[in-house]
Amino acid sequence: MIYFVLIGSSIFTYFISLAKIPEQLIGFLGGVNLPPSGIIVLMLAAYLVLGAVFDELAAMIVTLPFALPIIVYFGYDPVWWAIINVIIVELGLVIPPIGLVILIINAMRPDIPLRDLYRSIVPFVVADLAVLALLTAFPSLALWLPAILRG
C-alpha cells in the first residue's frame, strides 16, 4: 500500500513539475494581497482538512510539490515547514468531526462511546493547537535543535 502511494505520488509530482503548476501557483499567490503569514494560515487550514480526510503519508506526499515551492518563495525554512506539516497533519487525524484515529480507537474498544472519546481528546487538541501557534509565530522554537545539529 505504501509503495502504491509512493509510486503514484512520484508520477503525480513529475507531471505537476512538467506542467509548471508550482510556478503558476507562486505567481498567483504573489499577486494576492495577503502577507506571508496569511498564506501560511490558509495552508495550515487546508492541511487540517486534508489530515482529517486522507492518510497522513498521502496528504504530505501528494501536497509537497505545491507546498514546498510556496514555503521557499516566501522565505520560510523547509525544515520548519516539515515540522509544522507533521504536526498539522497528525492533528487532523484526531480532530473532530472525522478523526480517523478516534474512529480506529472506537473500533478497537467499542465499549467506550464515541462521544466520550471525542470529549477526552479536546485537551490534547487544544495543546497541539497552542504548540502549532507558537511554532508558527516563532519559527526559531522549531529550528534551534536542527541548528545545533548542523553545527
Determine the pLDDT at residue 110: 93
CA distances 120 to 52, 92, 105, 131, Å, are: 18, 16, 12, 18
- Average pLDDT (121-139) is 93
Determine the pLDDT at residue 20: 78
Mean pLDDT for all residues in the chain: 85
Type of residue at 96: P
- Tell me the three cell numbers of residue 108: 478497537
Determine the pLDDT at residue 77: 92
CA distances 117 to 14, 87, 106, 123, Å, are: 41, 20, 8, 12
Alpha helix (H) ranges present in 1-151? Answer: 2-18, 21-31, 36-53, 56-73, 78-94, 100-108, 114-137, 140-150
Question: Taking a C-beta distance cutoff of 8 angstroms, is the pair 39, 29 a contact?
Answer: yes
pLDDT tens digits along 24-75: 777 777 777 888 888 899 889 888 888 777 777 777 888 888 888 889 988 9
Sign of the dihedral defined by the CA atoms of residues 92, 95, 99, 100, in that order: positive
